[in-house]
Structures are given as C-alpha cells and as structure tokens.
Amino acid sequence: MSKIEFIATTLFGVEAITAREVKELGYQDITVEDGKVTFVGDEVALARSNLWIRTAERIYVKIGEFTATTFEELFEGTKALPWEVWIPEDGRFPVEGYSIKSKLFSVSDCQAIVKKAVVERLKTKYKKEWFEENGATYKIKFSLMKDKVTLMIDTSGIGLHKRGYRVMSNEAPLRETLAAAMIMLSFWKPDRPLMDPFCGSGTIPIEAAMIGINLAPGLKRQFVSEKWGRISNKLWKEAREEAVGAIKKDITLNIKGYDIDKNAIKLSKDNARKAGVEKYITFENIPLKDLKTDDKYGVIICNPPYGERMGELEEVEKLYKEMGKVFKKLDTWSFYILTSHEKFEKLFGRQASKKRKLYNGMIKAYYYQYYGPKPQPIDLNNK
C-alpha cells in the first residue's frame, strides 16, 4: 500500500469535527486549516474516508503544492508533479479551481495552464501526442491561496452530503454534512432523547439515527474513484463489508421529528425509509405550540426558519419568542439552534451557553448552544 496525502474539504466552522472523524478512523499526520483537513493514509483510506466521514464535503488526493506568481511557474510546477501515478492513458481529467488573494487571479487562464501542463506531463510518460479522455474521471482541482498552489484529484465525485436518501427535499434544505456536524457538536448520545421541532425533510433526525446505529453515510451511494484502476474492486468490497458489519442493528433510539407542514412529514418519512432508519424515528405533524414531552434530559437540535426573505422576518421573530416560551418548560433539556438572526438570544429570552459561527451554504449562521443539566444516575433503590 502507498502512503497518500488526502484533503477532506469542509464547510467553514466544522473543520475540528472532521479532524476528529479522521482520527477516529485511525489516520495520522492531521493538519487543520480553514475549510480543509489534510491527513495521510493509503488506498484503503481513500475508500474508508469516503464511506465514513460524515462532515466532509469531498475527499481529494493531494498531488502537490508550490508557490507561483507567474503563469510560467504555474505551468512548470504543475508539469513537475507525478500525474501518471493516478491518471491512466484513457483517463478523463477536467480541471476546475479558484484563486483568492493571489497574483494569478484569472481562474480561466489558470485552468487552461494547469490542463496544458498535465497533458505535457502525460505526453512524456505515455509517449503519445493525443489523449482521447474516454475512460474514468479524475477531476483535477486547483486552489490558489495567497500565491500558494495546491493541486488535487477529486475521489468522491458527487459531494459527500449527497447520501442517496434525499432525492426530494423541501425549500432551503439543510446540508446533510452540516446536520451531522450539528449533532456531533452537541452533547447528544444515542441513549438520550432527541427532538427536532422543525424537521423539514427530516435531515437532522435521519443523520442522528445513522450516527446512533453506526451506519456509514456513504454506504448507499457510489463514488467516482470506484472506477479507478488503482483502487481495486476487492478493496472497495472489503471497505463496504466492514461498514455493513459495523451497523448496530438491535439498538433502541428515541428520536422525534415534528413539523407544522404535513407534506414535510411525508417527505421525512420517505427519506428515512430510503436511508434505512425509519424504524428508529417518529415523525409527526405537530406545531411548535403543541410541543410537549415527558422525557427528561433530552436534546433539541434544530434549524428553524431564518426570515431571509422580505416580509418573513416579523413572522420568524414571533416564532423565536414562542420557541423561548415552549422550550422553557423543558427544564432538563439542552437546546442547539442554528439561525442567521443576529438577535436570536434576545428574542429567545436567554443567552446561549456557547455560540459558534457556521455556514449554512453561503449564509453565515450561529449555532446557539444551551446546556441543560447533566442526566442524573438512576437510583435503583427508589425504582
């Protein structure tokens, strides 16, 4: 097995969680930067990280890194890298990327130069002048950040937030990767009740159930690197078998998803069925004002409406005030609420124990965390 450097890209704010996941998978040499986690593994790590990491957006193989302030430096630096180790003669290698705070700011020019440099490298290695590019896809991604060039190949294909269970979704859905991060940033454990009063298409309850039964998030989908010659079918088969064997089937979970919209509940149930976790979640059409429970020491994790559109803000602010009143009755519960509203705490009526900046798509939001009391141990003598 080879020593390979990987980059797991993330939404801003969840890098530490992704790094924790990488460590739990057993990989070393972890470096955390804004929006990415770099680590070292082998070919097996390529398959396992795609199958298992819940909070990463994509897994890339890092081909190389260098500084470039001229197009010639970009060309020569790219050409010097060992592209033939990954890209075969018939490989399809489209190029995309971005440039931030760099002298080479034209993305289309950088794209053309990287492509040309890779072609020149492969011409030398494969002793041919023309590449059909009719085989598997090896999408090249370049990142130019303050003149530092990072070149990578995408191993995931479709983004990792596409688990395969949410074909349809309601308006402004929460990314599955962000929902998983919200759960992993909370104090929720599978032996505690979990509730989402604004479940929408069911993403938070479904991701929680998948965590609860240890279901690998990528198990029901395909990855572009499954067609790569360097990663054998046997390796992928073994990685999938390992994931299937890790599922905890005979576990009881207390997860509830509520929504005022009947269609949202129907959608949530369909999505939970596709994810294979429907038996672990109860979905009901209940408005916030009717929310009540006898369960103790539970956790509410939710992504309520933000009021981003004209005319919705007043309605949303009223909802946040109502949340404050309804949640106050759940005196042993902890609350984790994601919203972009800067004055949420004031409307909710309580200052958060902690707040963390997260990005829901392009929207800057805050994750307001309200810690309830720790669960009390059961006194068996008084049972």
Give CA–CA dist 186/142, Å, rounded. 34
- For residue 359, how many other CB atoms are within 10 A of its CB? 17
Mutual angle of helices 15-24 and 176-184, in 10-degree steps: 80
* Token representation of residue 74: 């970009």
Q: Are 59 and 10 in contact (CB under 8 A)?
A: no
The residue among 306 and 328 whose pLDDT is bigger is 328
Q: What is the percent of the chain with per-residue pLDDT over 70, rounded to a whole number?
A: 96
pLDDT tens for each residue of 32-74:
999 999 999 999 999 999 999 999 999 999 999 999 999 999 9
Cα-based distances in Å from 136 to 125, 127, 227:
19, 20, 6
Sequence-separated (6 or more) residues with CB below 8 Å from residue 38? 5, 6, 7, 8, 29, 30, 31, 62
pTM of the model: 0.94
Element (H, E) at 240: helix 233-245
- Cα of first residue to Cα of last residue in the chain, in angstroms, is 56
Cα-based distances in Å from 349 to 28, 56, 160, 314:
44, 34, 37, 16
| Domains within the chain, CATH numbers bracketed | 4-154 (3.30.2130.30), 176-218+249-370 (3.40.50.150)
pLDDT at 301 over 60: yes
Give CA–CA dist 381/383, Å, rounded. 6
According to the model, what pLDDT value does residue 191 have? Answer: 96
Q: Compute the average pLDDT of residues 86-106.
A: 96
Q: Compute the average pLDDT of residues 92-104.
A: 97
